[in-house]
Chains A and B, each alone.
Chain A
Amino acid sequence: METLVMNNGKVDVNEEGYLKNPAQWTPELGHEIAKEVNIELTDRHFEVLNWLRAKQAEGVALSIRKVGNSGLVDIKEFYQLFPGGPLKISSKIAGIPKPVSCI
């Protein structure tokens, strides 16, 4: 089991860097992971991250389309907030598993 050492202690991550247990996530940890992909998190980012975490907890299979239909952000803004692969990157920062959607 790989671990990621962050400011506030150790968390378990898989080989791609996704948290194994979303419950270990904290906003500070989100900031740490975001820094690795050169994203400075704002309140707007956190609105999206919290939405993703809530949906993931409900067992929803996340997709770009679902984020776009969330009423929270449109797809264009989602790409702007998390450039270079929004769903994957936001999921990693949000401490939830890598999404398996093809759409």
Chain B
Amino acid sequence: MNDVMEKIQTKPTGVPAKKEKAKVKKVLIICSKGKIEDVYAALVMANGALMEGIEAKMFFTFFGLEAITKKNADHLHTATVGNPAFMPGLPTMLGGLPGFEAFASYMMKKEMDKLDMPHVTEFIQMIDAGGGEIYACKLAADMFHLKKEDFLPEVKGIITVGDMYALADGEGTQIIFI
């Protein structure tokens, strides 16, 4: 017993070695959702990283793929049903009325315009111009029957999950999942 106690006590105590403040060097942002607010969160973070001199890669999967298709990139919607933070107090059934979601999304885009926020396609062009890289998930693309030509020209490729992890190679990388 004493031996054990001794061993425990002789373990190095406290005070971790002083480390230099490690900076974030690269972010890999995975966007798995297609709601306008989720997609913008991903785009703002990717673009914001580039603005700070941080490398940025984006990987769109599942409903997030909508954001990088030629057809729907600029026509994303917000959810007015099942979204308790959307107009608190609004009865769920009203949120489900025909046209309500389109109206809410329109209003949201109008507010974004006021803040000088670019549309999704322009945002993606900005990220591409800033050296960011954008990829689509192979599994999800197969599932939704989407091909390279369905995606915006800035989409660099349709890649597997393994390829995605390779994007995060290197020290100082953070992976962000939305």
Contact = CB atoms under 8 A, between A and B. Distances in A.
Interface residues of B, number: 17
Instruction: Please report whether the interface of chain A is mostly helix, strand, loop or mixed according to DSSP.
Output: helix
B130 A85 contact: no
Contacts of A75: 125-126, 129-130
Contacts of A87: 51
Contact of A88 (B52, B117, B122, B125): B52
Contacts of B50: 79
A40 interface: no
Contact of B44 (A83, A85, A88, A103): A103
B48 interface: yes
A31 interface: no
A68 B125 CA distance: 11
Contacts, number: 42
A102 B44 contact: yes
Contacts of B51: 64, 85-88
A65 interface: yes
Nearest to A89: B53
B130 A65 contact: no
Nearest to B130: A79
A71 interface: no
A74 B129 contact: yes
- Give the residue among B47, B117, B125, B129 with the most A Cβ atoms within 10 A: B129
Given A79-B131, A103-B117, A103-B118, A68 B126 contact: yes
Interface string B74-107: 0000000000000000000000000000000000
B129 A68 contact: yes
Nearest to A83: B53
B116 interface: yes
26 contacts: A63-B116, A64-B126, A64-B130, A65-B122, A65-B126, A66-B116, A68-B129, A75-B125, A75-B126, A75-B129, A75-B130, A79-B130, A79-B131, A83-B53, A84-B53, A86-B51, A86-B130, A87-B51, A88-B51, A88-B52, A102-B48, A103-B44, A103-B47, A103-B48, A103-B116, A103-B117
Smallest CB-CB A-B distances: 4 pairs: A84-B53, A75-B129, A85-B53, A76-B129
Given A63-B116, A86-B130, A103-B115, 8 more contacts: A68-B126, A75-B130, A79-B131, A85-B51, A85-B52, A102-B48, A103-B116, A103-B118
